[in-house]
Structure 1
Amino acid sequence: MNGWVKAALGATATGVATLAYSAGVELRHWTLREATLPVLAPGTRQLRVLHVSDLHMTPRQRSKQRWVSELAALQPDLVVNTGDNMAHLQAVPAVVQALGPLLDVPGLFVFGSNDYFGPKPKNPARYLGRNEKRLHGEPLPWHDLRAAFVERGWHDATHERLMLDIDGVRIAVAGVDDPHLGLDRYGRVSGKPSADLRLGLVHSPEPRVLDQFAADGYDLVMAGHTHGGQLRVPGYGALVTNCGLDRSRARGASRWGAHTWLHVSAGLGTSPYTPVRFACPPEATLLTLVPRPVEPVRRGVTPARTAADVG
Structure 2
Amino acid sequence: MLEFISVLLIGGAALLLFMLYEAHRNEIKPHLFTFPHFPQGVTLTIFFISDIHKRKLDSHLIEQVRKKADIVVIGGDLTEKAVPLSNVEENLEKLAAIGSVYFIWGNNDYEVNTEELRKLLKKKGVQEIVNDSVSLKLGSEVINLIGVDDASTQRAVLPKALSKTDPSAFNILLSHDPRLVKQVRKEDGIDLMLSGHTHGGQIRILGWGLYKKGRVEELPQTTLLVSNGYGTTALPLRLGAPAETHLLTIKRESE
TM-score of the pair, normalised by structure 2: 0.84
Deviation at 1:101, TM superposition (A): 4.1
Deviation at 1:82, TM superposition (A): 0.6
Indicate the percent of aligned positions where both proteins have the same amino acid: 25
Q: Quote the Cα distance in structure 2 between the aligned partners of 1:166 and 1:144.
A: 33
5+ unaligned residues in a row in structure 1: which ranges?
118-139, 242-246, 295-311
Please provide the CA RMSD for this pair: 2.8
Q: Quote the Cα distance in structure 2 between the aligned partners of 1:26 and 1:93.
A: 25
Deviation at 1:80, TM superposition (A): 0.8
Change (3 A) 1:255 1:158: same
Q: 1:256 aligns with which of 203, 211, 219?
A: 219
Aligned to 1:91: 84
The count of aligned residue pairs is 251
- Are 1:103 and 2:96 matched, yes or no? yes
Q: Map Cα deviations across residues 67-109 of structure 1 (whole Å, 9 max, x no partner).
A: 4543552431111111111134353222222231432522221
Q: Map Cα deviations across residues 91-146 of structure 1 (whole Å, 9 max, x no partner).
A: 322222223143252222101111111xxxxxxxxxxxxxxxxxxxxxx1233233
Q: Which has the higher contact order (CA 8 A, sep 6+)?
A: 2
Change (3 A) 1:7 1:87: same
- Are 1:268 and 2:230 matched, yes or no? yes
| Contact 2:107–2:153, Cα closer than 8 Å, also in 1 | yes
Change (3 A) 1:26 1:279: same
SS at 2:11 equivalent: helix
SS at 1:179 equivalent: coil
- Are 1:183 and 2:155 matched, yes or no? yes
| Contact 1:69–1:98, Cα closer than 8 Å, also in 2 | no
Aligned to 1:53: 50
Aligned to 2:22: 26
5+ unaligned residues in a row in structure 2: which ranges?
none
Aligned to 2:32: 36
| Contact 2:81–2:108, Cα closer than 8 Å, also in 1 | no
Aligned to 2:114: 142
Q: Quote the Cα distance in structure 1 between the aligned partners of 2:161 and 2:83.
A: 32
Q: Map Cα deviations across residues 180-207 of structure 1 (whole Å, 9 max, x no partner).
A: 222222232235625652010111111x
TM-score of the pair, normalised by structure 1: 0.71
Q: Quote the Cα distance in structure 2 between the aligned partners of 1:91 and 1:69.
A: 21
| Contact 1:160–1:174, Cα closer than 8 Å, also in 2 | yes
Q: Map Cα deviations across residues 21-69 of structure 1 (whole Å, 9 max, x no partner).
A: 212x2222211111111246252412111001111126xx4xx343454
